[in-house]
Structure 1
């Protein structure tokens, strides 16, 4: 299951989602597509659920949606914001 690391705060905005790492004071923003992927995973969904959510909401192919979702998860995990 995907979770936000302790010490990372989330805030939904009209432009997507903001993440604040309280330890490093770094601030991250996700556009609406990134926010959709993150919320799907945090709500207990799988990567496949996130891909389906992207293709349902946006005009994007499943392959492109999968690549985008994987990139978002990889970037946030590498930055230490998510645990899996």
Structure 2
């Protein structure tokens, strides 16, 4: 399946980062973090962005983000204590 980055989807929709952030209800800094893969974008915001950018959410490629919230190592450590 063909996929593009979140930033490319925004650019293809002819939206500047500040304009898209405002329409998504986040700060420009937050949207930039999602686009650079520094922070994982919540599913509801991904869906909202897909609608705003007029592209199916499945066509947006998301980077792997190790932001400490859902790291696999932490999950396995917690799972092994059951």
Q: After TM superposition, is the score higher than 0.5?
A: no
Greater RCO, 1 or 2 (C-alpha within 8 Å, sep 6+) = 2
TM-score (norm 1): 0.33
Query: Which structure's residues are more often helix, by fraction?
Result: 2
Query: Which structure's residues are more often strand, by fraction?
Result: 1
**Structure with greater Cα Rg:** 2
TM-score (norm 2): 0.34
